[in-house]
Structure 1
């Protein structure tokens, strides 16, 4: 059983499935304490906060970025809107040309 390295508010890229290459935000773990291989992800458009996608962590790529505003809201139990999710993802995507280069572009912005 692999340990879940994804935390709420983290930006991830789908690596497998019909949504491959799509950028998501992790909203939390999916499943019980014994199932750490699944997380819930949203994009604010197709997968909204009221119906997140359950995704295997092996099918997600870590971008190394966490959105602090969203992470804090999730941690404190406050409502995160689909509009907030869309705004964060749109702002991220406007800085890169394709989803394949999202991780690279995000790591460049750290310096």
Structure 2
């Protein structure tokens, strides 16, 4: 892992500041080196993404290829796909935690 990993479209992030603290979201846009657009498909829909400072996010190693493919093909992604990507990631985190605990 490099010192400053570059955020990528479709990447899962954990929000570390603000109202949505400790929630997960998906990067649906990179505005510049400091700001990203994130959405979770639930409270934050694709059409109303949250502009977030990268310092307030924890980039996760997971990138949802479904979201990336959809953004590349149509420039959009459904809120259902965003929710699915986050739930899939959350499930994999839980599974890892359980395996470590066994």
Distance 1:9 1:37 in 2: 17
Q: Deviations over 1:27-80 (max 9, x none)?
A: 0113xxxx4200000000000001000000011101111111211221233431
- Of 11-20 and 70-79, the range deviating more from structure 2: 70-79
- 1:79 equivalenced with 2:76 (yes/no): yes
Root mean square deviation, CA, Å? 2.2
Say if 2:62 is the partner of 1:61: no
Contact 2:26 2:82 in 1 (8 A): yes
Q: Point out where structure 1 has 5 or more consecutive residues left out of the alignment.
A: 98-104
Supply the distance in 2 between the matched residues of 1:44 and 1:83 (Cα, whole angstroms). 6
Q: TM-score, normalised by structure 1?
A: 0.73
Q: After TM superposition, give the deviation of residue 84 of structure 1 in Å.
A: 1.0
Gaps of 5+ in 2: none
Tell whether 2:51 aligns with 1:49.
no
CA distance in 2, matches of 1:27, 1:60: 14
